[in-house]
Structure 1
Amino acid sequence: MKDIDHPDEALLSVYREHGVVKREGRDDNFNKAALDRSIYQLVHPGWLVVNRMKAWQGAVGISPFRGIVSGHYICFRPTHGEEPRFLNWLFRSGVYTAEFASLSRGVRPNQVEIDNDWLRSLKVMLPLCEEQRRIADFLDAETARIDQIVTLLRVLADRLSERENAVRDGLVEALFEAEGTVPLRRFTTRIEQGESPQCDAVPRQHPNDWGVLKLSSVKRGRFIAVEHKRLPDGVTPNSSYLIKRGDLLVTRANTPNLVGDVAVVGDEVERLLLPDLIYRVGLAEDVSADFIAQVGLSGRVRSFIESVARGSSQSMVKLRGEDIKAWPVPRASRDQQMKLVREVDESAASTARLIDLVRHQLHLLAERRQALITAAVTGQFDVSTASGRNVTDGVTV
């Protein structure tokens, strides 16, 4: 029976990488807690906590804390004398995530659940308690080493992104200083927003289908055509909102740090429509959409956007068309515009190659971390003589 009505207890969550953690102070959890925390269930140190929808991904763990978790989680009170740290590693190993996947049921691959009764029938492999402690000590130490490298690589990726922004800001600011400033309205011919009819929750499945862009199709200067929803059969597409190559898109509503994001449609696209949360900005012939997009991503314009965006909540703010027309833009000839775009693109391509390398290293580390956990808890090697010197071979920082 669930022990609820403890709203003042620490809020806990289950992470694939870490098991049960406290949510306070974390910036990597985007799931909102319920306003009524009295419906959450209380767990104690040593309890097994299972996210029933993500157990197959490893969202399982032995809680080291007292706190409250979602009422949708499955929680088991311990009735054993085993080493909880070993169990924490065991249930998140590849052997058990595969078992959780086989026991989960659902219509779609990412919307499956595991049932309480199925979990109760799960067999648990247990070495002697002394061996459990040795394995837990080994994995605590070795995964900590891997996690340190992961942290360094993520910091490196952030620094690379900052370098790309610094290059853009430097080039844009040099034009401001040399040529002066004019408002974007000097170059705009129109600003329009589309419409968002009720769509299917999936992308289009056939080339003849129509789709409506999602807000996520415009992201940090990139246009992502696959981010759309299928327009249902029977709904007549409004061809005046058809997206075309060269269109300058600006998000109309989003969180404060994302509203006003820009992208240019770089490839030919077919049967994709403009939604009501994205503006399309028409430009005069003597100004490049790619140039305006780079200016829109610069620190000066981002600061301006943050100052004029309006909303009753910090989770969602909006821009008016007049706000976009007021963007500061450096006076620049066509040659100056194309030179800036070319230099930013060259810098971005170099940065992208380095970031791709970092992401590859992170992928290798994640694979090796999981392989190490599975091998240790299943007895594939003797942890008392094993060394972690080879755990990160092929990974450089």
Structure 2
Amino acid sequence: MSISHASQPTHWRQTTFGRFARVMNGADYSAVEVETGGYPVFGSGGEFRRASDYLFDGESVLFGRKGTVDKPLYVNGRFWTVDTMFYSHINERALLPRFAFYWATTLPYGAWATDTALPSMTSAAIKAAPISLPPLPERRAIADFLDRETAQIDAFIAKNEELIALLTERRAATVSRSVTRGIDALAAMVEDQSLPVTIFPSHWSVDRFSRVARVTGGLLAPSDPRFNDLPLIAPNHVESDTGRLREIVAASEQSAISGKYPVRKGQVVYSKIRPALAKVIVAPENCLCSADMYAIEGISPKTLDNRFLKWQMLSKWFTEWAAERSMRVAIPKLNRDTLASAPILIPPLQEQRAIVDYIEQAAAKIDAAMAAARRATDLARERRAALISAAVTGKIDVGAHA
């Protein structure tokens, strides 16, 4: 690539977006909404409704007015846009709309937003935004170049996101299959239609949660000097579906004041709030957990391995069972009595440990593949942004790539 060290090529001219475009307010769409047909209604995330009428017909760059303000959209054709968006009426003889869209993706929206609680943009700020313009043929060449290059990058990102979704499904399926059917392909199965898991190995037993595990209690004051340096685990510290902690933060750093439950290293910590999110871990050290979580352990270590219990509580069947029973209250919550009634599959102890080892090894491989795909996606997005910025500021000679 040919890189210019000047702020912009000498034959480009600096001006403002408002000299070539009017910035118009979107409008409420409720009176024109239709189920099918009609015209697209755009919000900050793209099309999400249909309308019987349209606000504009042609090429336009859409800008967020409130909320998500940093994701401009390019639209061509008849459309409606919501009242939290701006749309632009661009003088196409003077400013190519596609070039304007790529330029718009480089703007420092965060510095311009007027309210950090609910970021807001003004039409005056958008109109006053500086834009450097090459001659029209060069603008068209830049837009064509970016159309081609970003399409390839977007296709690469889409493939990686599809791969991540497939790996996520494979990971969940590995967990659910292993804790319900075991890892011995030759094991004889039994069927019991009265249970949430209808087919499982015939040598496994099934028992009520309350007969094999218990929720430990005893509220502690996290401000007590004996406890305030202990890690405090709350639901927001736990990833959904994975059994991993996002971070470990001491109670004192969270300004915790209400009572918390003590957790011993190796106990299961389960979020009873919104159980559909499947937030379960094994405590890596002695710690505290919030009142929105249960500290759980097997009643007898000779019967139930806490690590196996964690994976079973992360399985699809248990998550669906818990979610269904938690929806009977305004804020989904799995109470102790309901948890106590949950059926738990119990293989022999040695088999539990073998299953845990198998899941952890399989999950580690899948997690590594997902991490690599995410890194590649992040790098592709960074390249996309850098490419657009370089092209619309004249730091790339796109003629060399025609």
**Matching of residues 46-61 of structure 1 within 5 Å:** 46-52=59-65, 58-61=70-73
Q: Which amino acid aligns with 1:335?
A: Q
Match of 2:240 in 1: 219
Q: Structure 1 residues 24 and 143 mapped into 2: Cα distance closer, same or farther (>3 Å)?
A: farther
Q: Which amino acid aligns with 1:302?
A: T
Deviates more, 1:216-225 or 1:118-127: 216-225
1:308 aligns with 2:325: yes
Match of 1:135 in 2: 142
Q: Which amino acid aligns with 2:271?
A: T
Q: Which amino acid aligns with 1:148?
A: A
1:12 aligns with 2:37: no
- The alpha-carbon deviation at position 325 of structure 1 amounts to 2.5
Equivalenced residues, count: 342
- The alpha-carbon deviation at position 361 of structure 1 amounts to 0.9
Q: Deviations over 1:290-336 (max 9, x none)?
A: 110111222332343354342478xx633232332333322233322
- Which secondary structure state, in structure 2, belongs to the residue aligned with residue 281 of structure 1? strand
Q: Structure 1 residues 343 and 92 mapped into 2: Cα distance closer, same or farther (>3 Å)?
A: same
8 Å CA contact retained: 2:266, 2:284: yes
8 Å CA contact retained: 2:26, 2:86: no
8 Å CA contact retained: 1:212, 1:230: no
1:145 aligns with 2:152: yes
Match of 1:124 in 2: 131
8 Å CA contact retained: 2:235, 2:271: no
**Matching of residues 1-397 of structure 1 within 5 Å:** 2=25, 4-7=27-30, 8-9=32-33, 10-14=40-44, 21-24=46-49, 45-52=58-65, 58-64=70-76, 66-79=78-91, 81=93, 82-93=95-106, 96-97=107-108, 100-104=109-113, 113-175=120-182, 176-177=200-201, 178-190=203-215, 213-215=234-236, 217=238, 219-220=240-241, 221-226=243-248, 236-238=257-259, 241-254=261-274, 257-258=276-277, 260-269=278-287, 272-276=288-292, 278-286=293-301, 287-311=304-328, 317-386=332-401
Question: Per residue, is there more strand in 1 or in 2?
Answer: 2
TM-score of the superposed pair, with normalisation by structure 2: 0.71
8 Å CA contact retained: 1:49, 1:60: yes
8 Å CA contact retained: 1:182, 1:331: yes
> Whose RCO is larger (CA < 8 A, sep 6+)?
2
Deviates more, 1:357-366 or 1:209-218: 209-218
Whole-angstrom CA distance in 1 between matches of 2:335 and 2:77: 47
Whole-angstrom CA distance in 1 between matches of 2:270 and 2:90: 53
Whole-angstrom CA distance in 1 between matches of 2:319 and 2:218: 21
Match of 2:189 in 1: none
For structure 1, list consecutive stretches of 5 or more residues without a partner in the other structure: 16-20, 26-36, 198-206, 388-397
Q: Which amino acid aligns with 1:370?
A: A
How many percent identity over aligned positions?
Answer: 20
Q: Deviations over 1:77-136 (max 9, x none)?
A: 43553221111111113xx33xx4444456x6x876554433332222122233222222
Q: Deviations over 1:127-175 (max 9, x none)?
A: 2233222222222222111111111112222222233233323322334
Q: Structure 1 residues 69 and 208 mapped into 2: Cα distance closer, same or farther (>3 Å)?
A: farther
Deviates more, 1:353-362 or 1:112-121: 112-121
Higher alpha-carbon Rg = 2
For structure 2, list consecutive stretches of 5 or more residues without a partner in the other structure: 1-23, 34-39, 183-199, 223-227
Taking only aligned residues, the RMSD between alpha carbons, in angstroms, comes to 3.8
Whole-angstrom CA distance in 2 between matches of 1:161 and 1:218: 13
- Which secondary structure state, in structure 2, belongs to the residue aligned with residue 140 of structure 1? helix
- Which secondary structure state, in structure 2, belongs to the residue aligned with residue 380 of structure 1? coil
8 Å CA contact retained: 2:27, 2:81: no
